[in-house]
Structure formats: C-alpha cells, structure tokens
Structure 1
Amino acid sequence: MEKSLKKAFKDIFKWTLVLCIILSMPISKSLAASSNIEDRKAIILILDKVSIEEIFNSNTPNMDILLENGAMGFMNIRAKSSLANRGSTYLSLGMGVRTLAPSEGALAFQTSDGKIVNTGIKDIEETALDVTPNNQVGLLGKIAKENGIVVGLIGSSDLDTLAREATMLAMDENGVIPFGYIDSDLLISDDDVLGGSRLNQERLLEEAESILPDIDILFIEYGDTVRIETTDEITTKEIREEQKIKVIEGADLFLGQVMEKVDLEKTLFMVITPNPSSETISRGNFGLTPIIMSGPNTQRGLLTSSTTRREGLVTNFDFGPTVLGFFGISEPRSFIGESMTVVDNNNPEKVLLKNQDQNLYLRKYRSYFHKSFIILIGITLIGFYLPRLTGWNKLPNDILHYLSITVMIVPLMMMTVSLTGYKSIIFDLIYVFGGSLIISYILNKIFNEKLVIIAILALVTSGLLLIDIFFVKKLMIISPLGSDAIAGGRFYGIGNDYMGILLGSTILSFFVLFHLCNSTKYIMTISITSYMILVTISLSPFFGANMGGTLAAILSILMIVLVMFDKRLSLKKIAFIVVGAILGILLLAKLDSLFNPNPTHAGKALEALMIGGWSKFFEIIGSKLRQVLWNLINSSWNIILFSEVVLCGLLYRHKNMLMELKERYSNLYKGFVTILLCSIAIFSFNDTGTIGTALALTYLFVPLGVVINDNSIL
C-alpha cells in the first residue's frame, strides 16, 4: 500500500509539472522591432504633470494619428520618494527600478562639444545605490552606448531654477548624454502664460533638426506643462487647466513637426508623463500617468506587459526594455521589466477612463471593506470565545451561527462585487455584508449540520479562487481584498490576502469532509495532497506568482502527510520540511527562468541572486524584513492577528479541551493543526504576511468556535 501511495505521489507530481510548464508559455503580440533595424529612431516626448483627461480634452491631431495605429495605457511611475521629488521618477525610468534621486539630479549643463553632463552624478549614485544597491545608475544610456545606440535630449523644465531632471532618464552611467541642448535660452518671455516663460518652438525644432541625423533616440522634454504646474501665481483652477490644454496642443504641434523630419515606417514614438499632475494627485492617483506608443509593428489598442498582465497598464520598469527592444537589444538580465505589448481594442480611451475610475474607487474605499470585515471577524471571535474563557453570558446560538457563516461568505462576495460595477460605497458594502448575511440565513435554514455548511463554503471558496487564477485572472485583482494598481505592490496573480484565504479554505474544506465522510487515511492523504499540489501550482510563478504562498503550500503538503499519519513534528523533521520546501521553490523559480519567455519576478530574482551573490541576497532579505516590520506596525489586520495569537495561548492552557477535541473530532483536529502550521509558514515567508496569516487563521478559529459552541467542549 505504501509503495502504491509513493507511486501515486510521483505520477501526480510529474504530470502536474509538465502541465504547469506547458500552460505557462504566454503568447503575445510584441512591440519589438523586426530583424531590420537600420535607420530606426525612437522619439520620446515628455509631457510631465498632465492627466489623461487633459490629453483627451485637448485638440491633438498628431497624437491622434499615432493612436490610429498605436496604443495607450497607464504607466505606474512609483519611485522611492515623496511626491515632491520629481527627479526620482526620471531616474527610476532610466534605471528600471524604483529608486531615489537627490535634488542635485536636476543640475545638468551643456558642454562646448555639444554633450550634456549631469554634474550631480556622484550624489545621484550615492543616494540611489543607498536605497537600491546592486543596480546601475544610467542603465538605459549605458546599454544604448554599449550597443552603438546614440541618445540625445532637448528641452528642460527650467523656470526660476534649473529643472533638468530628464537628464537622469537619458544619461549613461557617467552622467553623459552625447547630443542635445538644454540651456535656458530655449525659453522666451511671455506675460500671457503662467510663470512668464515658455519654450521657443522654432529654436527647439532647430535643435532637434541639428542632432536628428546623428542620434537614434531623441528625448524631448516639453517643460511648459511643468512650468504651469509649479508657478506660485494666484490663479483659478479653470485658468490653469485652460493654459495646460494650450500647452498640450502646442506640444502636439511640435510633435507633428518632428514627425515630418523622420521616416514614420522606421520610428517608434512615445509620449510619457513621468509625474502626475497636482489635480490627479488630489483625486488619489499618485502612481498612474498616461503613456502613448506607436511604431512600425503596433496596432490600435491598449498597452500591457508581462510585468503587469493587465490590459491598459504598464510600469516604469518596462520603459527601458521597450525602447531597447525596438532596436533589437534584449537585456533580460539587466532590467526587471519587460517590453510592452499591445492588446487589440477599438476604444482604448473608454477602457482607460473606466479603469482609472475603478482604481480611484478602490484606492479611496478599500479600507472601508477591510475595516468592516475586521469588525465582523472580531465580533465573531469575541462571541465564540470570550464568554467561554471568562464565564460571561454568551450570545444566542443562532446569532453565532449566522455570524460564523457570514464571515466565511464575505471573501466570495468580495470577489464578485466588482461585477456590479462598483456603484457606490453604500451599495457595495450592503452587497458584500448584507448579501453575506442573507446567504448565511438561507444556508442555516437549509442545513441543520453547521459543519456541512462550513465544508461547502470552504470548498466553493477554494474552487472559485482556483478558477480565477487559472482561467478568469481578474476577480481577485480588482477585489477590495486584491491589489492596488496605483500603489503598485502587485499587478497580477494572487495577493497575500487571498493566498491566506485559499490555503485556509482548502485545508479546512478537506478535513471537514474527511470528518463527515470518515474516510481512510490513505484516501484522505491522496485526495488532499493531489488537490494541494494543484493549489501549489496555482500559487507558483507560472500562475499566481506568490512565492511565499508557494513555499507555504509546499510546507503544508509535507505537514499534511506527517499529520495524517500521526507523526510527531520534531525539530529535525521541521528542518527537513523547510529545506525541502525551499529546494522546491528554487526548482520552480529555475523552471520559470528557463522555460518562461517572460519570467516572473521569481525567475528574475533567482537570476539576480546568481549574478549579485550574497549582496543581492541580503538586499532582498532586508527589503522583505522592512516590509514585514511596516505591516506589523501599520496594518489594521494586526488586531485580528494579535487576537488569534492570544487565543492560541489561551486554548493551549486548556489541554483537556484539546484532548477531548482530538478524541471526538480526530480528522477535524488534524485540519486545525495543519492550518495553524500553515499560518506560521505564511507569516514567516511573506513580507506582507500579516493579512494572509490573519485570514488563514480565521478558517481555524471560526470553525473551531462552531464546534466548541455546538458541543460544549469547553
């Protein structure tokens, strides 16, 4: 029997791994250039501090021409700085990593031989590499130079002081841009514009014409948008917006003049906004700005990339690989981003505005959903445990049953609330929590056995999450328990919130079913191990891209086998399990790196470790530990996690109760132990594991409360 069990495990692992590799091979329409790259040019127009609405409200016939055979989207431009530090976003674009720039980064000057030199290069390196070590300042310019691609920059955002942050995007590792012109004599006085100065378009065009024959990549910093945004003059919002639109229309006119000077069949055009406008920030969007791209191989649609896997969304990580990829330069080891691709869409403007509204809604109201869920779980735990541990009067059984089932329905309702279109916060809260309570009432009326309801809900939750990961790939991402596109912590896959729910609900559902069906330990072990392998694949880099969750799932499989066969968990066995899980993770990351055309952050992290060695390892560990500490201090879910930890200690003191529970509910008790061990793994191997751990433990303490309450064990 044991040999057949081992053979079954080997067969399951072999075929699931083969399926995993096959299904993970993405097919996309690349923006990369064809093999013929002679005489190609890239023109990048920088319109900083503008919103997508301002672009849409402007008369921009030349940008419209680009969009007829090009794509548009939002670019996440987050950097490691406050919103006041405009230069960090430019430096991040050039380095392909979220970094920090000093104020000296705006100091750049023209040399007598026509080059541009950023004199703050030493300060830039010291600041950037302090927060993001093992990276390269001026990476885009450096790789371009090494491959014979010549870069040029014209224009600046100068007003009362030097504002030449765009040089940090175009420069090489020495702070040098081979061609360009950024001096203040590009400006002319104009009392009719805010700030009193604007670009001299004729002079700017002359500079562009003079260097175009000698360069391959031309950056144009059309700084008038910044000058209007940063002026201290007292004026109305309407006047400011009116002037901004005039500037955008002027920039579009200049873009059209440049388009006449190049071969459109061999030129990549991009319009980027490294920093959001003040009006955009006031609405809560501090991380997403518009981006336009059009080239020889593009079509009308929405921009996306393997970094985000979201239609209409890319990141600043993707900028460098896209520009270099147009020239046939592939640098997967240098950049963590991927070249942008296009998804066909005939009405990208409508989609982007809808996505922006949704992102702003979630950004504004996400905490309402979380705090309401926290309160609901807290009331449920208090209702179950406080009376039994203190002797106080307890709530009526019916209320406790409704509360417990409602808690387990909420994650499902959170996943589907986006289908209603996020009407209003009142409507959506009623939908999630009122709907959960109504379903709880109905289920309690239909089923007498509460564990049957728990098993059904846990299994449905687990199944729906897997369906979303493998096929839908949307519900969790735009759920209130999902990711925040503006903050940019995660763009695809499964976040730690739903990861904790997935592992907790999966383990609970099977062990409750085992209790109800009274199956043999061999059938139980094969069943849950097979399903957990599927869960592990769903969390792996190929699909869910949650490395901490993958590690926790692998650990859970090994612990399930030990628990099912009543093996004691010694330190030696725990160490063996952890080492085995880590080796499994490394194997998955290596497979991701080798077989995935666009590796996830897991595969790239392994590549970075191979190149960077121990210094890169300690950089990653340090970043993760800082994130863990931040969450322990700031996360609202700490109150639930702390309560659950206290409950663990209090229940451990009632050993007689635990022994009675183990004797009367042997299979269920094993499930509770497994969830507890899995939760420890979730917390240990995730930088934002606080929420995931709290939610996973909810699938322990809520069902345990039901069992204790119904059977008066304590």
Structure 2
Amino acid sequence: MKRRKFILILLLLPLIFSIHTPRAFAYDGITETIIMVTDRLDNQLIDKIVNNKDTSLGIMSTKTDGIYKNNSKESLFMTIALGKRVSVKSGLYKGLIKEDGKLRIKGYNNILNQLEDKYVDFSREIPRFGEYFKKRYIAVGCIGGGTGSLLAADKNGYIEYGEPTIKYDSKWLIDKTKELLEYTDILVVTYKTNENNERISILQSYIAQLKNYNVIIFPEAIKGDINLKWNNTLVPFVYKTPNKTNGIITSESTRRRGVITNLDIFPTVANLYKQDTNQFIGKSIKILPSTNPKQETVNLFKEFLNLNIIKYLSHGIVVIVQLYIIINYFNRRIKKDDVFTFLISSIVIGIFLSFVIGIFKFHRNILLYYIVLILLSTGISILLKDYEYYCIFFFSLLTNIFILVSNFFKREILYDSYIGYNNIVAGGRFYGLNNEIMGVLIATSIISFFFIKGLIKFKTLELTFLFFYFPIVIISLSSRFGANIGGYLTAVAVFLMMIYITLFDKAMNKRSIVILLLIGIVIFIANIFIDLNSLEKSHLGDLVIRTEILGINELIRFVTNKLKQLIFMIIVPPWSIILVSQFYFIIRVYNRNKIIIERLKEKYPDMVRASFVIFIGSIITLFVNDTGVIAFAYMNTYLISIIIGLHNIEKKDLF
C-alpha cells in the first residue's frame, strides 16, 4: 500500500510542480519583455535615461480612430491592446485596485461598453493584449497604476500579477521587477517622472539594470520639447534588446526609416514569443543600422513637422492662385492673360522644383525653402515667358520622368517634396504615393503621352509607345510600388480611354467597351493576385487577409471609414471650394468657347484629347479615393494650365 502511494506521489509531482511553477515551461529561455510607459518622454529626457550606444530609437505615431482628433490616453492603450484603431472617451479609466488577490481596473466595463456601442464589429470575446497572451500561457503583469495597465488586463479587466502603486526607489523597482518576472513573461511598468530630477535619476538607474530584457519605452502623452503646435500624434520610441543592438527602428506598417505606429507594438511582442502575427494590422518592429540614431530621429521629427507646415501652406498657395485666376478670368474688363499664364505656369514649374530642392533638404528651414522655391519657379516662368505654352509640356514631362524613376529606384526622394510627402502626423498613410502625387503623376502621364504622340505621326509607333509607356505608369501605382489602389484603378481607366482614343477612335462600339472593361478587370485581379503572393503586401493585400481571418465586418469597417473620409474631404474647405471652382471654370470655358474649341481640335487635336482624358480621369479619382478631391484638384491644375495656354495661343492667332 505504501509503495502504491509512493508511486502515485511520483506521478503527481510533475503536475503539482507545473501548477506552482511561476512561469510556463514553454517560454523558459525566451527573454522577458518590459513595456515601460512614462508620463513624459522627449529628446532631452532620452539623453538622460538611456545609453544611445546600445539602444534603438525612432518615432511612433500614436494616432487612434477618428479624423484629426486628439487622442485620449484610453484610446491610445485600447488601440494598442486591440491591435486596431479605436476611440474611447477620456476619463473612463478610474484606477487600479487590489481585489481577491489580483488587480482590477476600475472603469474597465465602461470602456468596453463604449466600444460595443461605437463599433458594430467589436466583441468582448476579441482577445486584447493581456487576454491574448494569457490564452497562450504567456503571463502579463504590471507595476504602477495608470492607463498603461489596460495592456495587461484580461477580458474582464483583471491582472493576475502586479503592484498597483510604484515606489520611486531604484532598489525597490529592481527587486519588484525581478519578483514579478518570476511569475510573468511580460511586464507593463507605468512610471511618472513628474519632471522630478530625482525620479529621472532613478529611472536612468532602473533602465541601466534591464540589460537582459527586451525593453520598450514610450510616453502616454506628448510633453516636453516634442509638444509643438503641429504635433498631436508623434512621440519618441525606445527599443532595447539583450544583444544591445544600436540602430533606428522601422516596420512594414510604415516602410519608413525611423517611424512605426502604435499598432506595431502588439505584433512585435507576439513575435518575440514566436506567435503568428498575420492577423494583426500592425507589423513587427525591425532595427536598421544607424551611425547616430538619436540625431537621425531628431532630424526626422523636425523634417516631418516642417513638411507638414510646408504641405498645407503650398496647398493653400495653389488653391488661392487658382481662385484668383478663376474669379478674374471671365471678367472682360480685366485683361491679364499674361498674368494668368505666368501664375499657372509658376505652379506647374514649382511642383517639379519641389522634388529637386527636396533632395538638398531645404525643408529643414521653412523660410529658406519658400525663398528658393518661389524665386526659382517665378524666375523660370519669366525667363520662358515667350514659350509658356510649351513650358507646361516640358515641365510636365520632367515631372513625370522624375516621379517614375524615383518611385522605382529611390522613393524617399519623393517624400521630401510637399507633393510627395505623406502626412506622418495625420498617420493615414506612411509609404507609397499619396493622392496629390498620384494626381500629378496621372495628369503629367496623359500630357506627356499626347505631347510625344503628336511628334510621332505614325499610328503603329503611337500604339507601341502607348502599350509600353502607360503600363509603366500603372505598375508604378500598383501595390508593389506606389501602393495607391485608387490611383491604380484611375490609371487603368485612363489607359482604357487612351486605347479607345488612339486605337478605336470614333469606331468605338458596345463590344469594344466590354472588351476594354474586361481588360481592366483582369489587370485589377492580377494586381491582387500578385499582391497576395508577395512577401511585402500593400494595404489592399493586408485587407484581403484580415477579411479572411476576421470576417466581413473588417471589410465593412474599412469601406465605411473610407466613405466617411471621402465625404469629409469633399465638403470641408478649402478642397470643397476648389472642387466647385474648377468644375465651374472648366464647364464655363467649354460652354462659352465652343467655336474656339472646334478650331483647337483641328490645330491641336492631341492636347484637346489630353484635356478630355484628364477631366474624366479626375472625376474617376474623385470617387475611388478617400482623399480623391486632392488628386482631382491637382489633375485639373494641369488641365487649367493647358486651357489657358491654348486659349492664349488662339487669341494671338486671331489678333
């Protein structure tokens, strides 16, 4: 009998031992992770608390759901915890208390209730950060109260291991950290510096002793020297690994050196514990080599904010100049044809020059940037005064070649212009071709093709050039390169129109239309197929995969957000104003100058056709892009430049 009891005890020992072992066997040997959330983290504080020689740095976008809204702390941490952007009312988090041997987040149910009311696809069963790892036997704990503790909570708002308050003592912090890491794999630490030098010194000492862990540090709010007027989403991000890698961070979410998003934290930690990350919107953080990551990060931060200002100032200049032209163009008492031509030519020239001066980083000084840009664009326009009509075609061709070559070989050059800059602060798009540059690319491609077509004179060569050249434009907007699905669809539609004009001419019939539509559908499906089978997927490829994993609600949510953005952009000034004004100008020119247009069709048939294709293409892009109104405005900027140029030539011929 005693022998049987002894054998039974031996058999039960492994089970008993596994129950009381602090950490799961499956993750022994994997380095623990500490996520440190501070009340403040700016460039000055980074210099004080981390050793730049064994640390990777960068910038994180803290954008949550909503259009141009300030983040609440609850929104930030629920966005990280869910792995998707959400918005939660500020103040719902009520603190952290001990209850039944665990920690409980007060107000957690109110946060979940608001998410349920606001998002039809939200469910309490969706695994959030803490619950996700708990189900995989990866324990998450916390030290210190604060909204950062939302990351550690399970689906009911409980945290199994943790300390609700923090003692600002270096020894206590280290001892408590080591104690909790006996039971947990991931530890969320909320640290309040309160801009107190003693606490900053303790934080520096604490971080210095975390050499053997993965450490992520970011602030819960924008404070200190990064709290600038134009910045409401960008914060510094510190990433330390046990191998002491020194560099600058990036991820496939942004494909931008030095930039990640808050959506990248969840998959990064999941990847550390060998979990599949395909279901996440965000991507794992990568470290790139850098000789001076701190200075590079500071430079990037300044460049992003400056380009943000430059972008909107330049948009404003383009809009105001065109409104001036449109308001005065039909006033017979005002004879300023040369002024109108000069102004619109300066805009076209300025767009090309914005790429060139971006190479030399003039945008690091806003005043210098505009002095150089305005002097060069207006100066060239004055020098080429007698050739302004041809100047438009020449600079359209230069712009088109520059965009295509840069997009295929060094896309970063495009990001340093106000046309190509993706608004990193807004956080809607980080890589690829935005809708401004997409509109410019398509418009200049149309102009370039018809300009060269007019020089060829042989139909066979025209068709050869069309079928060689325009697919390059389409590919440049595809998921592999420009990653602009709306631009891709517009380019395909424009290509089909140009085939019709060049090949079918007036012999177009229903059968031809059906064939061209089928060609367009095949091209679109081929793009999706290539995207899904590529290592680097675009937004479209990721959307298809997420829809497969998360269901049709993910697609509905995506489409709904895009429609909201589209409506918002169309009705909000200044884009609503320029949209109506350009429509008015183009339609009035057509209605009042039908006789002149007929003469122009005979003398300059290719440019009249180019104008038609640009206008139809701009209407298509208006409705297939969430910010298509911007592409519409820039496409019709080139159309208006052609109209004014042709009209002036016709007037000179008449008189």
- Give the TM-score range, shorter chain: 0.7 to 0.9
Equivalent residue, structure 1, for 2:160:
178
C-alpha contact 1:268 1:293 (8 A) present in aligned 2:
yes
Equivalent-residue separation in structure 2 for 1:569 and 1:374 (angstroms): 37
Identity of matched residues, %: 25
- Give the direction of change, closer, same or farther, for the CA distance of 1:95–1:382 in structure 2 (3 Å limit): same
Q: Compared with structure 1, are the counterparts of its residues 659 and 173 closer, same or farther at alpha carbon in structure 2 (3 Å cutoff)?
A: farther
1:571 Cα deviation from its structure 2 partner? 8.9
- Paired with 1:571 and 1:630, the residues of 2 have a C-alpha distance of 37
| Aligned pairs for 1:565-584 within 5 A | 565-567=504-506, 581=520, 584=523
Partners in 2 of 1:439 and 1:470 — Cα distance? 28
The question of whether the paired residues in 2 share the 8 Å contact of 1:283 and 1:360 is answered with no
Aligned counterparts of 2:465 and 2:575: Cα–Cα separation in 1: 33
Amino acid at match of 1:440: S
Distance 1:36 1:609, change over 3 A: closer
1:330 pairs with one of 261, 276, 279: 276
1:352 equivalent to 2:297? Answer yes
SS for the counterpart of 1:104 is: coil
Gaps of 5+ in 1: 1-34, 157-163, 188-198, 229-240
Cα separation, 2, equivalents of 1:434 and 1:142? 59
Secondary structure of residue in 1 paired with 2:162: strand
Counterparts of 2:139 and 2:515, CA distance in 1: 54
- Counterpart amino acid of 1:143? Y
Tell me which residue corresponds to 2:15. none
1: CA distance, partners of 2:336 / 2:389: 19
Q: What's 1:375 paired with?
A: 320
Q: 1:441 aligns with which of 382, 388, 412?
A: 382
Counterpart among 69, 73, 88 of residue 75 in structure 2: 88
The alpha carbon displacement at 1:151 in A equals: 1.0
Change (3 A) 1:519 1:148: farther
Ranges in structure 2 where 5+ consecutive residues have no aligned partner: 1-25
Query: Match of 1:251?
Result: 203
State the alpha-carbon separation in 1 of the partners of residues 470 and 93 from structure 2.
51
Secondary structure of residue in 2 paired with 1:320:
helix
Distance 1:611 1:658, change over 3 A: farther
CA deviation after TM superposition for structure 1 residue 497, in Å: 0.7
Relative to 1, partners in 2 of residues 1:298 and 1:528: Cα closer, same or farther, differing over 3 Å?
A: farther
Q: Does 1:538 align with 2:476?
A: yes
**Is the 1:462–1:506 contact (alpha carbons within 8 Å) kept by the matching residues of 2?**
yes
Whichever residue aligns with residue 298 of structure 2, its letter is L
Q: How does 1:662-701 map to 2 (within 5 A)?
A: 662-701=601-640
Q: Give CA deviations for 1:606-642 in whole Å, capped at 9, x if unaligned.
A: 1223344443332222111111122123342333322
Distance (Å, rounded) in 1 between the aligned partners of 2:262 and 2:590: 50
TM-score, structure 2 normalization: 0.87
- 1:174 Cα deviation (Å)? 3.5
Summarize deviations over 1:530-553 as a string: whole Å, max 9, x none. Answer: 222111111111111111111111
| Cα distance, 1:77–1:409 mapped onto 2, change above 3 Å | same
Alpha-carbon distance between aligned partners in 1 of 2:366 and 2:263, rounded to the nearest angstrom: 33
Q: Structure 1 residue aligned with 2:44, among 45, 48, 53?
A: 53
| Superposition map of 1:41-440 within 5 A | 41-56=32-47, 58=48, 60=49, 63-64=50-51, 67-80=52-65, 82-83=69-70, 85-102=72-89, 103-113=91-101, 115-131=102-118, 133-134=120-121, 138-156=127-145, 164-182=146-164, 184=165, 186=166, 199=168, 202-222=171-191, 224-225=192-193, 228=194, 241=195, 243=196, 245-259=197-211, 264=212, 267-277=213-223, 280-296=226-242, 299-333=245-279, 335-381=280-326, 385-387=329-331, 391-397=332-338, 399-418=339-358, 419-422=360-363, 424-440=365-381
**Deviation by residue 1:47-102 (Cα, 9 ceiling, x = unmatched):** 2332122222x2x3xx21xx433311111111237546222111111122221124
Change (3 A) 1:299 1:247: same
CA drift at 1:203 = 4.5
Residue by residue over 1:13-69, the C-alpha shift from the partner in whole angstroms, topping out at 9 and shown as x without a partner, is xxxxxxxxxxxxxxxxxxxxxx9973421122222332122222x2x3xx21xx433
Q: Deviations over 1:125-165 (max 9, x none)?
A: 33235555546765322332233211111112xxxxxxx31
Matches within 5 A, 1:459-470: 459-470=397-408
> What's 2:444 paired with?
505
Conserved 8 A contact 1:89-1:275? no
TM-score, with normalisation over the residues of structure 1? 0.80
Q: Does the 8 A contact of 1:683 with 1:690 survive in 2?
A: yes
Which digits, 9 at most, give the CA deviation of each residue in 1:589-617, with x for residues without a partner? Answer: 34222222x32222111122334444333
Secondary structure at 1:249 match in 2: helix
Deviation string 1:248-294 (CA, Å, 9 cap, x unpaired) is: 322122234455xxxx2xx3122222321165334432211111112
The range that moved more, 409-418 or 648-657, is: 648-657
CA, structure 1 residues 495+310, in 2 after alignment: closer, same or farther (shift >3 Å)? same
Please name the residue that 2:417 is paired with: 479
SS of equivalent to 1:566: helix
Residue number in structure 1 paired with 2:9: none
Deviates further, 587-596 or 312-321: 587-596
Distance 1:303 1:578 in 2: 43
| Pairing 1:522-537 to 2, within 5 Å after superposition | 522-537=460-475
Coordinate RMSD, CA, aligned:
2.8
Contact 1:138/1:175 (<8 A) preserved: no
Residue identity in the other structure for 1:47: T
Once the two structures are TM-superposed, the CA of residue 557 in structure 1 deviates from its matched residue by 1.0
Q: 1:40 aligns with which of 31, 35, 39?
A: 31
1:409 offset after TM fit, Å? 0.7
| CA distance, structure 1, for counterparts of residue 169 and residue 511 of structure 2 | 74
Match of 2:223, as an amino acid? Answer: S
Residues 248 and 287 in structure 2, CA contact (< 8 A), matched pair in contact too: yes
**Counterpart-to-counterpart distance in 1, 2:300 and 2:247:** 14
Residues 63, 71 of structure 2: 8 Å contact kept: no
Distance 2:584 2:28 in 1: 64
3-state secondary structure, aligned to 1:494: coil
CA contact (8 A) 2:37 2:188 kept: yes
Amino acid at match of 1:662: K
What is the letter of the counterpart of residue 205 of structure 2? L
Cα distance, 1:587–1:339 mapped onto 2, change above 3 Å: same
Structure 1 residues 493 and 258: alpha-carbon distance in aligned structure 2, compared to 1, 3 A threshold: closer
